[in-house]
Structure 1
Amino acid sequence: MCSCVRSSRALSPALLPRLLRPQTGVMLADRSLKTSSQCLAVGGDSALSPLPSQARVVICGGGIVGTSVAYHLAKLGWTDVVLLEQGRLGAGTTRLCAGIVSMAKPISIECQMANYSISLYQQLEEETGIKTGYVKTGSVCLAQNQDRFISLKRLASRLRVLGINCNIIKPKEVAKLHPLVNIHDLVGALHLPSDAVVSSPDVNHALAVAAAGQGVQILERTSVQQVVVEKGHVMAVETDRGSIECEYFVNCAGQWAYELGQASEVKVSVPLHGCEHFYLLTKPLQEQLSPNAPVVIDMDGRLYARPWQGGLLSGGFEKNPKPIFTEGRNQLEIQNMQEDWDHFEPMLSALLRRMPSLESAEIHQLVNCPESFTPDMRCLMGETPGVSGYYVLAGMNSSGLAFAGGAGKYLAEWMTYGYPT
C-alpha cells in the first residue's frame, strides 16, 4: 500500500488557517464554544475546495468518531480519503462532550478501546503541538451495595487481565481521594488511576490536523444526501455539491446516522436514537476543587462528576430519558437545546446526596446536549450485512470520547485487514 502523502492541500483554503491558528474563545467544560477559532464558520461557498470526483473512502461526519477513523486510515497508509462534514468540524455532540475518558466499562473490548483512547489523546499533543486538555485525574467508581461491589471486583479482574492498573478500595480511601464525596452509605469502590479528562473539541481539532497532514481531504459545509449502491456494492456518494465515486463509505454521522442509512434507495439499518443528556456546571467552589481530583462515577446513583474550572461538572442518566428528533432528521449542526430543570431534578438530588457540600455552590449553567443510544447499549461498528463497502461507526451511548480513539483504530484495521487486531 502506498505511503501517506503529506499535503496542506488536503484542507480547504478557509479550513487550513482556521485549524492551525492559535485557539481562542469562551470555554465551557474545558472545551471551546461557538467563539472558538475551530468553530468559526467557513466563509461562504467560494472558500470551499472543489469536490473531488472520486476517492477510495468517503467518511461522513466530522465529529471525533469520524476524524478518528480518518486519522487511523491515514496511519495505515490509505491516501485517497475524503471526510465530509455537513456543518463545521466537531459542531455536534463532540462540542458538548463532558470530557471524561474512563476505562470503567462493562465489557473487555470497551475497556481496551478506552485504554487506547487515553494513550492516543495524550500523545496527540506531542504529534500535533495542539493542546488536548489532557489531565490524568483517575476515577473512583462507587458501590452502595454488595451486588455493585461484586460487580466492581469483577470489572477489576477484567482490567488487570488487560494490564490496566486498578485497585479495590475502602470508603475511607475514597474520602482521601475526593474531599466532597459522602461515604456514609458506601460499601467500597474501584479506583482507576489512569483515567483522564480532556477537551473533546481540541482532541477533534488535533485529529483533523493530523489526518490532513497525512493527506486526508476534509470538506466542511458538504452534506451527504445518499449512498449509491449497485449490485450490493458501494459505488458513489451523492452530496449537495455533487457526487463522489468511491469504493468504501463510512457512516460516522452520529445522531444523524439512522436517517442517513434510510436516505438511500438501498436502505441500511443503523439502530440508534437521539436523547437529551443533561449535565450541570457550577461556579468555582469556596474551596476550589483541584483539577487533578478524580472523576466520580456513582453507578447506583446514576451520576458522574468531574472537576471543572475550580468547580464541578456533574451529569447523569435518568430512568426515563427524553427522546429528540422524533419528527424526522434534524438539520442543525449545533443544537442549542433548552434546559429542563424539572427533568434534571432527580439527578440533582442524587448529586446533593453524594456531595452535600454542593448545597451552597453557585450554578453556572445546565447544559442539554444530544447523545445517541442503541438498544443494547453497545456501539455500532463494522460493515453492514447488506451492502459491501458500507461501514458504520456510531451509537456511542454517551461514551463517544472514551471510545473514539480505539473504535476508530479498530474500524480502520477492519477495513484494511478484514478484522480488527
Structure 2
Amino acid sequence: MPDTTDTDVLVVGAGVLGTSLAHHLLLRGTGRVTVLEAQTPAAATSGAGAGFVGLWAAGYADFLTDTDLRLQQYGIDFYRRLAERNPDIECRTHGNLYLATTEPGWSKWVRPVLGHPLAPSGTRELTPREVGAITGGVVSPSSVVGGALHPGGIQVSAGRATRALAASVRQLGGEIRENTPVRGLILSDGAAIGVLTDDGPIRARRIVLACGAWTNRILRPLGHQLPLLRVVATRVVSPPSGVPDTMPTVMVPDLYGLWLRAHRSGLTWGNGDGYSPAYELDDAVGTEIRPRYPQLVERLRERLLPGLRELVPAHDLRIDRWLQGIPCMTPDRRFLAGAVPDVPGLYVLGGDNEAGVTHGPGLGRLMAELVDGEDDATQWLDASPYRLDRFAPDRFPTERDVAAAMPARR
C-alpha cells in the first residue's frame, strides 16, 4: 500500500520537552520528524523558565528517586555539550547552593541535602561567611545560618537553550512548523493518525503531545483527561547591579521556596508568592501562550521583597520586567511519558512539575526510545514510573483534586 502519511512522528509543542524529543528521535534515525508549534519555539512556558538544572533528587525533593537523578545528571551533561556549540545559551557551571535563614530551615531543608545518600561528590557545608564569599558578596552572611553546595549544578537560559534545540532539530533534518496550532486529532478505528490545523490535516504514524498546559484541551474530545494541575508561575528580573555571573544558583526553601540567580549582571528571582493554581485565577488561563497576571507580581513585591532585601542588601531588586508561564503538576510530582491508553499511535510527554528544563533532555531521550520501539520497554532507563495509566481515569476529576494529592517538598 502507498504511504499516505506526511511524517513518521509528529510532535505537538516546541518547548524544551518537544524539541528535546525531536532532537533525540532524529539522533536515533527514526525517520521523518515534524514539530508543530502554535507560535515559535520557547514562546510559552519554556521561555519563562528560570533555567536551574540540578540534582534535585539528592536531598531537595524527596518525592524524586534515583531514576529521576539519572535524568537530572543527563540534563547537566547534555547542556554542557550543547553550550560548546551554542555559547549563547548562557550555561553557568557554578553549582546549586541551598541556604537556610533560620535554624528550623536548616534542620528541615539544608541538613538533609548534606546527608543524603545520593549526594553528589563534592557536596559540602558552607558557613555564613563562606556563603557570602561564594556568592560574590550578593548574599549577606548575617542573613543566613549556613548553606549546602552541590558543585555540579548549572544554569542556562531556558529560552535560548530551547531555541538551540530547535535549531538542532532543523540541522538534523527535522521540520518545525511555526504558527501552526493544533485544532484536534484525526482518528481512524480508534487510533490517532493525524492532527487538524488551520492549513489542513497532517497525517503521521505516531503523535506525541508535548504541549504542556494545552494537552488536556486536545485530549478532551477523546474522553481523556490527564491529572494535570496548571500553575501560573512568575519570574522577576531586576536591573543590572554588578552581580557576578560566577554566583551559584541559590535556593532558600524557608523563604517559601525562594530561588535566585545571576542574570546579566542583575538578578532574577521568585518564590511561591508569585504562583497560583489556575483554578484560583480565571477562565482565561491557557487561552494565551504567555499569561499576564500582574496581581502575582504585586504579591511578590509585598510579601517576598522585604525579606529578600535582608538577604541581598547591596543589590538592586527593583522589578525591571517579569515573565509568567504555566507549568503543570501531577498528583505524585512525577512526569508523564508514555502511550495514551486505548488510543494507538498517541503519546504524551508532559507533567513537567516545574522541572522541565532540568529533565527535558533525559525525558526526550527516554520518550524517543518509547516512540521508536515496538513496545513500552526502553533500554536506557525504566519508563514505568512515568506511565500515564498509573492513575485511574476518574481518580482526579478536577485540578483541585490534583493539588490536594500532591506531596509537599519534604
TM-score (norm 1): 0.77
Q: Distance in 2 between matches of 1:153 and 1:221?
A: 46
User: Judging changes above 3 Å, is the alpha-carbon distance between structure 1 residues 112 and 289 closer, same or farther for their aligned structure 2 residues?
Assistant: same
User: Judging changes above 3 Å, is the alpha-carbon distance between structure 1 residues 385 and 322 closer, same or farther for their aligned structure 2 residues?
Assistant: closer
Cα distance, 1:408 vs. partner? 0.9
Instruction: Tell me what 1:135 maps to.
Output: 92
Unaligned runs of 5+ in 1: 1-51
User: Judging changes above 3 Å, is the alpha-carbon distance between structure 1 residues 279 and 319 closer, same or farther for their aligned structure 2 residues?
Assistant: closer
User: Judging changes above 3 Å, is the alpha-carbon distance between structure 1 residues 362 and 321 closer, same or farther for their aligned structure 2 residues?
Assistant: closer
Q: Indicate yes or no: 2:189 matched with 1:226.
A: no
Instruction: Tell me what 1:419 maps to.
Output: 378
Of 198-207 and 140-149, deviating more is 140-149
Instruction: Tell me what 1:251 maps to.
Output: 209
Q: Indicate yes or no: 2:298 matched with 1:338.
A: no
User: Judging changes above 3 Å, is the alpha-carbon distance between structure 1 residues 218 and 293 closer, same or farther for their aligned structure 2 residues?
Assistant: same
Q: Distance in 2 between matches of 1:273 and 1:416?
A: 29
* 1:381 maps to which of 337, 352, 362: 337
Instruction: Tell me what 2:276 maps to.
Output: 321
Of 117-126 and 314-323, deviating more is 314-323
What are the Cα deviations for residues 378-397 of structure 1, in whole angstroms up to 9, with x where unaligned?
22222223323322111212
* 2:119 maps to which of 159, 165, 174: 159
What are the Cα deviations for residues 228-271 of structure 1, in whole angstroms up to 9, with x where unaligned?
33445322222222222222111111121121221x3x233222
Q: Distance in 2 between matches of 1:165 and 1:78?
A: 39
Instruction: Tell me what 1:145 maps to.
Output: 106
Q: Distance in 2 between matches of 1:90 and 1:353?
A: 34
What are the Cα deviations for residues 136-194 of structure 1, in whole angstroms up to 9, with x where unaligned?
12121124232323421344x2133xxx5432334333222122324457554321122
User: Judging changes above 3 Å, is the alpha-carbon distance between structure 1 residues 126 and 284 closer, same or farther for their aligned structure 2 residues?
Assistant: closer
Instruction: Tell me what 2:395 maps to.
Output: none
Report the secondary structure of 1:356's partner residue.
coil
* 1:348 maps to which of 296, 305, 310: 305
Q: Indicate yes or no: 2:157 matched with 1:202.
A: no
Instruction: Tell me what 1:17 maps to.
Output: none
Match of 1:419, as an amino acid?
Answer: T
* 2:320 maps to which of 358, 364, 380: 364
Q: Indicate yes or no: 2:69 matched with 1:117.
A: no
What are the Cα deviations for residues 71-118 of structure 1, in whole angstroms up to 9, with x where unaligned?
001111111111111122221112222222222342233332222122
Unaligned runs of 5+ in 2: 381-410
Match of 1:354, as an amino acid?
Answer: L
Of 318-327 and 335-344, deviating more is 318-327
Cα distance, 1:294 vs. partner? 0.9
Q: Distance in 1 between matches of 2:144 and 2:70?
A: 28
**How many residues of Structure 1 are paired with residues of Structure 2 in the alignment?**
360
Contact 2:278 2:285 in 1 (8 A): no
Report the secondary structure of 2:289's partner residue.
coil
What are the Cα deviations for residues 279-315 of structure 1, in whole angstroms up to 9, with x where unaligned?
3222222xx1111111110112110000112221111
* 1:297 maps to which of 243, 251, 254: 251
Q: Indicate yes or no: 2:81 matched with 1:81.
A: no
Q: Indicate yes or no: 2:224 matched with 1:268.
A: yes
Report the secondary structure of 2:278's partner residue.
coil
Q: Distance in 1 between matches of 2:328 and 2:154?
A: 22
Q: Indicate yes or no: 2:54 matched with 1:54.
A: no
Match of 1:404, as an amino acid?
Answer: G
Report the secondary structure of 1:145's partner residue.
helix
